[in-house]
Structure 1
């Protein structure tokens, strides 16, 4: 059984999707996505500038376009997933891969999500805390945060790789408190995603998700906020709504997927493959053109 893992917003870069565009089936997906959008995303992926590409309203669409293109290549090669998951906005492409969402509805939901999140305005940020267990980071976040300046664990990316999300003042306080951390790194993201500060975007997002046509999944989906596989469409829908302010339990997700078989990162990124290695799991990446040859050899064996 092959697990499909779809990357999220933090993987954008100028030139993304370049090798995928050599495949006609992938080029067709980029063209289809561009036609569905208010403004096409492909020129920004190819040429930048980076400051516009990393903006929330562009980054989420750019990553989704690459994820969908990489998925089309795998499908053309004859591969099908046995389980799917996506990191943050990547969860929407995972739902498409599982047959829950059509391509057009996937793109429309991502565009809506990015627009709603961008409208919140800059309320804070995110920082990766390296070298500490999640329980310790939770303690630090509780000490640093206040009701007026919240701070939470937003992402459990891998053992020793935890991301906190919240107000800038609380982030600064945590940085001063975390003297036992190996390293603390500010993330190049537009806001405090997966934190209570995203609450203003939730009503509109919930309305959009509940209005989108969804079908029962053809394979299990591992939602971010539960880290457990499910085929229950109500759970999938509710989890997708909760994900906007909820924690991404990626360590649990990788553990579940790895127990079922090998995984491949479906997009133009190696971030999830690296996080999988930190968790002791194996994951190839479609950002490496050699992955298709490796998959062919493994499945032939």
Structure 2
């Protein structure tokens, strides 16, 4: 059997119409989405299928919507007999990966990411934090630049190491504005402000970690049935206690995605399968290693294309 790694997208991959095709074609997905509405106590189906975009994009809605989208695709994959050898997720996507590995139940996963979204929104005053993507500059130069800014009273941290040549920074609005100018002076090809509501994966998220820990203490976390590569360490984890501790740290630590993919590639993966909405992670994987096979499974057509490859000669 082919060796596949599942990847689960994070915030930013949401869009109106997500999961609708699976919902209309698969009774199990329909039941999953309908049950999620009861669990979340918000009209998540309407937000996913019809919007409006500004409501779907709110962190407390986008996070459960993306998890639900991933779980819907996962439901179909499991029925087709597709099981990964390992998994990883980008930020929020780590919760999807843990549900896929049976460390979290779908219901607990949905409640946790809804709460996580609310905690992230309120952890730092709206409009006072920001993030930006830095393109074409090495990590050491970025770190030197933002350390200088932080020493002058603003907070700026590396938030995501997405792939070679793409690093995201996070911090105070003034700090990010200063960093944009200085990083361009120091050789960045482009520095793009991101349309986000807060300084995610920075020290400024630490105030939310205690409340998140309290929420995690209320749910049952099991040992994962296969390795899930954690954002914080870029290494595989299966132990339930370690999973919980890493989820708390993940809130204010950088997402080491590029390193995660490099480590997974060492396990002789035949293909990476992005499970859920969008193709962002598939693109990042190919920037880590150009010739690796990737699939993005987000509707019946893309599912069919993946299954044809997966089941040939197996």
Scaled to the shorter chain, the TM-score interval is over 0.9
Q: Distance in 1 between matches of 2:227 and 2:91?
A: 17
**Where does structure 1 differ by over 3 angstroms across 4 or more consecutive aligned residues?**
none
TM-score by length of 1: 0.95
The one of 104, 107, 110 aligned to 1:104: 107
Once the two structures are TM-superposed, the CA of residue 35 in structure 1 deviates from its matched residue by: 1.4
Distance 1:105 1:45 in 2: 20
1:184 aligns with 2:191: yes
Counterparts of 1:298 and 1:106, CA distance in 2:
28
The counterpart of 1:36, out of the listed 30, 35, 39, is 39
Is 2:250 the counterpart of 1:250? no
Aligned residue for 1:231? 238
CA distance in 1, matches of 2:152, 2:253: 17
Q: Deviations over 1:12-60 (max 9, x none)?
A: 1222223222332222221121111121211011111111111111111
Unaligned runs of 5+ in 1: none
For 1:292, the equivalent position in structure 2 comes to 304
The answer to whether residue 20 in structure 2 is matched with residue 18 in structure 1 is: yes
Partner of 1:154: 159
Deviation at 1:147, TM superposition (A): 7.0
User: How many Å separate the matches in 1 of 2:147 and 2:12?
Assistant: 25
**Could you say what secondary structure the match of 2:228 adopts?**
coil
2:294 aligned with 1:273: no
Q: Please, which moves more after superposition, 132-141 or 191-200?
A: 132-141
1:175 is the counterpart of 2:156: no
User: Which whole-Å deviations, capped at 9, do the CAs of 1:119-154 have from their partners, x for residues lacking one?
Assistant: 223231110001112222212211222474210000
- Asked whether the 8 Å contact 1:264–1:284 carries over to 2, the reply is yes
Answer yes or no: is 1:221 the counterpart of 2:235.
Answer: no
> What does residue 6 of structure 1 align with?
8
From the superposition, tell whether residues 22 and 134 of structure 1 become closer, same or farther in structure 2 (CA, over 3 Å). Answer: farther
Equivalent residue pairs, number: 301
Using the TM superposition, name which of 213-222 and 276-285 deviates more: 276-285
Deviation at 1:291, TM superposition (A): 4.3
Q: Which deviations, in whole Å up to 9, do the C-alpha atoms of 1:254-275 show, x marking residues without a partner?
A: 1122333121000011000011
Q: Which residue of 1 aligns with 2:206?
A: 199
Is 1:77–2:80 an aligned residue pair? yes
Distance (whole Å) between structure 1 residues aligned to residue 302 and residue 41 of structure 2: 34
The whole-number CA distance in structure 1 between the counterparts of 2:265 and 2:294 is 8
Of the three residues 278, 282, 287, the one matched with 2:293 is 282
* Superposition deviation, residue 91 in structure 1: 0.6
Which structure 2 residue ranges, 5 or more long, are not aligned?
A: none
